[in-house]
Structure 1
Amino acid sequence: MGDDAYACQGSRRLERLTWPAFQAAAQTCGSTVVWPFGAFEQHGPHLPLGTDALFAEQILDQVLETFPQEAPIWRLPLQSIGFSPEHLGFPGTLSLPAELLIRSIETVGGQLAAAGFERLVLFNGHGGQIALLQVAARQLRAAHPSLGVLPCFLWSGPKGIGKLIEEPERSEGLHAGQVETSLMLQLNPELVGPKRTADGLGAQQPPQGWSLEGAVPNAWLTQDLSSSGVIGDPSQADGAQGEALQQRLVQGWSALFGSLLGSDWPPREPKPKRDQR
């Protein structure tokens, strides 16, 4: 095995490759790049500003460790500042304009397509930018049909996550509540502060028939619901639940990425048109 080929197989992180190794990776059959996205936003008085970014990066790295070295999957550096206007009412939140993030995805994705990569997965840990990444993915795919683009949300891919969370937290714990606090206790317990008070629950709700999220959602701002930045109850969080969440996330995403790597997606040949006679 030549030096370039060894370098290509020796790291999942594209920024650590030489340019010949990068070129070899791009030309590998089924070449897939995962770009983790987080956010830099308040998570109450007990969780760090980079909570979503930490989750996206650490879970992704654990998922990638489950694949053999020869698997054609690599990752980009973390995009740690995202689109978080709903949290700008609290100190510490940094948010990029939607247009800038979309433009960045289109630019980087276009360059990956030009290099020869076949797929780009946008691995997102921040719920407030799901729709934005979907728009960016659609525009990128339209501009570069040869590149499969998959915008994913950390918490909604693997099956069975909801079964690990009891009501009302499953429905009402929107931000920095029991779930995020439990996972942080598992991954980075030293970053969890002691002040874990419930907030944002039972606050003024949207008019009848409307909801904060779901079928008839609102563009809510955190200060509409909470004085602390928490929307949920982190007081019941514990490391055992965090461990269960971590295992379910890693196993679920490993299976999903394995399915993608074993597929021929996106289709390469256009489907024949039906005879309309």
Structure 2
Amino acid sequence: MHHAIPPQRYFPYLTWTEIDAMPDREQVVIVQPMGAIEQHGPHLPLVVDSAICTAVLGQALTQLDAAIPAYSLPPLYYGKSNEHWHFSGTITLSADTLLRVISDIAESVYRAGFRKLVLLNAHGGQPQVLEIAARDLHLAHPDLMVFPLFVWAVPNCAGDLLTAKEMELGIHAGDAETSLMLSILPEQVRMEQAKAEFPQNLPTDSWLTMEGALPFAWVTRDLSASGVLGDPTLATVEKGNRLLASLATSWAIAIEDIYRFRQPSPASE
């Protein structure tokens, strides 16, 4: 059941008495991996985001110093994916449902005595929901530290491996995700079905972009007939291995940072 997660780091394998006896629970890092079940073009399975998040976290926890207490909850496979719901197979939660699920999970974690919760997300359609959840949870419980984090946000080698066009526009089922899936679940990748597709007629001579400082709202069918945004034909298992290794190494560092993190406080008057 733990799949890529090291069994000694898999929260569901603990007993309630082990949790009850755990020292310094307020410093223990609990990670909730989050992804989606949504279309990723004709060449990739629906599970891409969830698979990437779990694989990266699993390798990061394997590298993490054994003295640092950190545990993974079971992956939350479903997310807010309604930008893809025009493509068959996509399963989506509403933003309200996702907020409630995160809140209920966090309340359970808090009730067990833990005070550090990482929402580790690999789906680009829901970071804003996680940020809202994290702020509301911290307001409800000032001693609960919630970290809404995106798996791609840490330093990694993508810039060394991908073209400039791919780095800008290859945001879904392109070179990076396909390469990672060739490394993680190669038997589920249909490279013979891979085709490149990039959005057409984007604003030119404009500050407005798909995902930048001044974004516009879009759904996938506005930008792609195949569901792909990028060029998966460039993908290789070698790139995937390097991406996975660089992401995992950075996340091992980030989890240690979270373990050592203390909530800031204002200077005394």
Deviations, residues 134-183 of structure 1 (Å, cap 9, x unaligned): 11111111111111100110111224433332211110101000110011
Cα drift, residue 14 of structure 1: 1.5
Q: In the alignment, which residue of structure 2 is the partner of 1:114? A: 111
**2:32–2:118 Cα contact (<8 Å) kept:** yes
Is 1:271 paired with 2:269? no
Q: In the alignment, which residue of structure 1 is the partner of 2:12? A: 15
Return the match for 1:131 from 128, 136, 145: 128
Cα drift, residue 203 of structure 1: 0.9
Distance 2:261 2:133 in 1: 23
1:65-214 paired onto structure 2 within 5 Å: 65-193=62-190, 194-199=192-197, 201-206=198-203, 208-214=206-212
Cα drift, residue 114 of structure 1: 2.2
Distance 2:68 2:207 in 1: 48
Return the match for 2:242 from 241, 244, 247: 244
Q: In the alignment, which residue of structure 2 is the partner of 1:233? A: 231
Distance 1:162 1:32 in 2: 30
- What letter matches 2:161 in structure 1? L
**1:182–1:239 Cα contact (<8 Å) kept:** yes
Q: Per the alignment, in what secondary structure is the counterpart of residue 120 of structure 1? A: strand
Cα drift, residue 108 of structure 1: 1.6
- What letter matches 2:78 in structure 1? I
Deviations, residues 227-260 of structure 1 (Å, cap 9, x unaligned): 1100111111111111111111011111111222
Structure 2 stretches of 5 or more lacking a match?
Answer: 1-6
Cα drift, residue 32 of structure 1: 1.0
Distance 1:69 1:21 in 2: 17
Structure 1 stretches of 5 or more lacking a match?
Answer: 1-9
Deviations, residues 84-121 of structure 1 (Å, cap 9, x unaligned): 01000100000001111111111221221222112000
Report which stretch shifted further, 154-163 or 208-217: 154-163
- What letter matches 1:117 in structure 2? F
Structure 1 segments of 4 or more deviating over 6 A? none
Is 1:43 paired with 2:30? no
Aligned length: 261
* RMSD, matched Cα: 1.7
- What letter matches 2:165 in structure 1? P
**2:29–2:69 Cα contact (<8 Å) kept:** yes
Give the structure, 1 or 2, with the largest relative contact order (CA under 8 Å, sep 6 or more).
2
Relative distance call for 1:75 and 1:56 in structure 2 (3 A) is: same
Q: In the alignment, which residue of structure 1 is the partner of 2:257? A: 259
Cα drift, residue 24 of structure 1: 2.8
Identical aligned residues as a percent: 39
TM superposition score normalised by structure 2 = 0.92
Distance 1:132 1:28 in 2: 27
Distance 1:90 1:29 in 2: 43
Cα drift, residue 272 of structure 1: 4.2
Distance 1:124 1:113 in 2: 20
